[in-house]
Structure 1
């Protein structure tokens, strides 16, 4: 297998790359004092360093910068800005929203525990709407939009981007932990091949630079044998089913 398959590029233009991040890879350098103790068998080399090493021979990647992060156990689309200016403009939008900077929206697909195995959701932290619902915590400082495809599959879009926000919200508010996310209460323990992977995937990234809007769907192709991601949701090529894609492509602004 080509080394570049380790971090495949899903899209490239003049401003950024979209890469499909595998499980077990960090988005940024960890605290080395705790990481070696809690993850002794996991290489702590961050995504950007790996990406530059893989592609430096045939692409101009020296000035590249990561704009947002995914937990090491989360897979999928990650935007890497090609220039300092692009990085600043995307970061400005993530910090200020509105018409500031370059627009960046991220939608995730999660497979969660069945509702029959959980308590009722905490209703005062769920906002219900026509196009989407909202999970709200920490006195309104953490907000995640969401829509259920069915009782086991949820599409989520970050409004704020705090550490572990989606994992915390579905576990603590909906009381349906993400499958194999033992940190947040999943009782399912899959084989060791899934030790550093949960059923949460960054599946759609939308950008808007000037008048140009780009929508990127990112397949879930890692350890895709039907165990973590059932075949009713993801096919053998990593493509999500039509119902999931429909929700991913909806405009929730």
Structure 2
């Protein structure tokens, strides 16, 4: 079975006289690959009739591009519950619980978010492929953005590409602030960290590479890939803090590596810090996601509540902080 997708666009006066190809790839930013797919399915139309890419359009024309999604059965459907926070015909945003992989790996074929989402889609008769735009570590909870068709995946993938500029200082980087301001996708994490963070806010600009002595670890290393992380202290309690953290690049374990390098590892992070008696995973949660909708351009904002284990940890830390202040 094939999932059919359609995009429609009324030609504006500024595009009068342009070729169909120019409007699709320029104005609508449809990829060449998707245009070629639509051509093979006779899916490009102008005012309801099949159209050639070289045709000239007129203001007011209705352009339509239609294609069938390629069916996929590479993920095993499983009845795994998940929390949907936003969904429409193009995108799905879910709140991934801790302890769950986003998608199957070489050694894990079941029990992932992908298995559950694909199962839900099968119930509606859809065989679309699972296309996550961002990935979270198994024990990091929070928002995962999923494209439901090829056009949405193409547009959001482009928006998620990270701005890479020249070098800048570790903190207070004007260049980093400028680049962060023009990003189309913002991902904000809640991190509960050890120690008293002195600076109220700042930028961390330290390259990250694989740790040659540990297959799963990453480390700060001069030869690594550039990595930028922005943080802001939301609240301090005793010898801990709640940080709001935003990524400007997307390296593996970036937040965990950067905060550990500053001497403030995420609480419960046994890979870059130490275990905690109050939480069995790193206290890191993808809390807020802001993106431009791929079809409408509307700014979408989604916020995910903390899971109980992290909320309980913060309650305990605040209680300890209150007792310490009173002693």
* CA distance in structure 2 between the aligned counterparts of 1:59 and 1:184, rounded to whole angstroms: 43
How many residues are treated as equivalent by the alignment? 201
Q: Aligned-pair distance for 1:63?
A: 3.6
Q: Deviations over 1:16-51 (max 9, x none)?
A: 11100011111233342xx7xxxxxxx854321221
Q: Aligned pair in 2 of structure 1 residues 198, 81: CA closer, same or farther (>3 Å)?
A: same
Q: 2:299 aligns with which of 213, 217, 239?
A: 213
Alignment of 1:72-221 (within 5 A): 72-95=138-161, 97=163, 103-115=184-196, 133-138=202-207, 141-151=226-236, 152-173=241-262, 175-190=263-278, 194-195=279-280, 197-209=281-293, 211-221=297-307
Q: Aligned-pair distance for 1:103?
A: 3.0
Q: Aligned-pair distance for 1:168?
A: 0.6
* CA distance in structure 2 between the aligned counterparts of 1:225 and 1:68, rounded to whole angstroms: 24
Per the alignment, residue 16 of structure 1 pairs with: 91
Is the CA contact (8 Å cut-off) linking 1:25 and 1:44 kept in structure 2? no
Q: Aligned-pair distance for 1:172?
A: 1.0
Q: Which has the higher contact order (CA 8 A, sep 6+)?
A: 1
* CA distance in structure 1 between the aligned counterparts of 2:205 and 2:193, rounded to whole angstroms: 18
Is the CA contact (8 Å cut-off) linking 1:30 and 1:44 kept in structure 2? no
The alignment's TM-score, normalised by the length of structure 2, stands at 0.54
* CA distance in structure 2 between the aligned counterparts of 1:186 and 1:111, rounded to whole angstroms: 13
SS at match of 2:123: coil
Q: Deviations over 1:104-158 (max 9, x none)?
A: 211000111123xxxx99xxxxxx89xx521111157100111111231100111
Stretches of structure 2 lacking an aligned partner (at least 5 in a row): 1-77, 164-178, 208-221, 319-327
Cα RMSD of the aligned pairs, angstroms, is 3.0
Is the CA contact (8 Å cut-off) linking 2:193 and 2:267 kept in structure 1? yes
Matching of residue 30 in structure 1 with residue 105 in structure 2: yes
Alignment of 1:45-84 (within 5 A): 45-58=111-124, 60=126, 62-84=128-150
Q: Aligned pair in 2 of structure 1 residues 60, 160: CA closer, same or farther (>3 Å)?
A: same
SS at match of 2:155: helix
* CA distance in structure 2 between the aligned counterparts of 1:168 and 1:136, rounded to whole angstroms: 12
Larger Rg: 2
The alignment's TM-score, normalised by the length of structure 1, stands at 0.69
Is the CA contact (8 Å cut-off) linking 2:189 and 2:286 kept in structure 1? yes
Q: Aligned pair in 2 of structure 1 residues 187, 65: CA closer, same or farther (>3 Å)?
A: closer
Displaced runs of 4 or more, over 6 A:
none
Q: Aligned-pair distance for 1:231?
A: 6.8
